[in-house]
Amino acid sequence: MAADRVDAVAFDLDGTLIDSVGDLAHALALTFADEGLPALPLTVVRDLVGKGIPTLIARGLARVTRMPADEARAAAMLPRYFAHYEATLGERSAPFPGVAQALAAIRALGCRTAVVTNKAARFVRPHLERAGLSELFDATVGGDEAPARKPSAEPLALAARRLGVEAARVLMVGDSANDVGCARAAGAPVVVVPWGYREGAAVQDLRADAIVGSFDALVAYVAGRRTSPAR
């Protein structure tokens, strides 16, 4: 795999391209307030992010009540969370430094680009638009568009079809075990960034093909994979 050429790059959204934990934590706090529950600190919410909003609510609920996760109660809270989230989307989040420049450079190398996220699809394009990134992607895949969420191979496989490339030639860029697992399941290469939301895991423990310490380093990595021969 390491010698294969990359024809497209797929990015996780939250924690990889955009520091969005402020939006997520604020919507969670408003939802919990509706239930008479206290808000969780931002640092705690950061470690709970990773498997979509239903899981975030269930994990947060378990943390504040100090009880086992109540999946039914969390599911009942989901519509209110989404209403709060949609109303404040983008107010407490921003792209990580260098994102737009890196995306433009990767596209200039001839790579197509996509977002592959567990975030609900209806929020993906609005979030990218408010971050000023929407024109830099050829495709997006939300968490409710594929038959299963990351770490399943399905979201990346769907992105590859939308991009018109083989999944094995799509480089996945993420920040968590979900991203690595998704890429591995799809037979695709994967790198991770040292920032982001990893559910408390160390970045070295994710066992990606590489850790890229900056967006400049990511562009250099992609450039190296563009010169690799196709097989």
What whole-number distance in Å separates Cα of residue 58 and Cα of residue 53?
Answer: 9
What is the Cα Rg of the chain in Å? 17
In DSSP terms, 173 is beta-bridged to: 11, 191
Give the closest residue to 177 by CA, choosing from 151, 159, 214, 147. Answer: 151
Helix, strand and coil percent figures for the chain, each rounded to 5: 50, 10, 40
CA distances from 226 to 7, 106, 112, 160, 169 (A): 7, 10, 12, 17, 10
Catalytic residue ranges: 12
Measured in residues, the chain has a length of 231
> Which residues are CB-contacts of 117 (< 8 A; sequence separation ≥ 6)?
12, 13, 14, 124, 140, 141, 142, 143, 155
Q: Which helix (H) or strand (E) holds 199?
A: none
What whole-number distance in Å separates Cα of residue 13 and Cα of residue 27?
Answer: 17
Handedness of CA 38, 39, 41, 44 (dihedral sign): positive
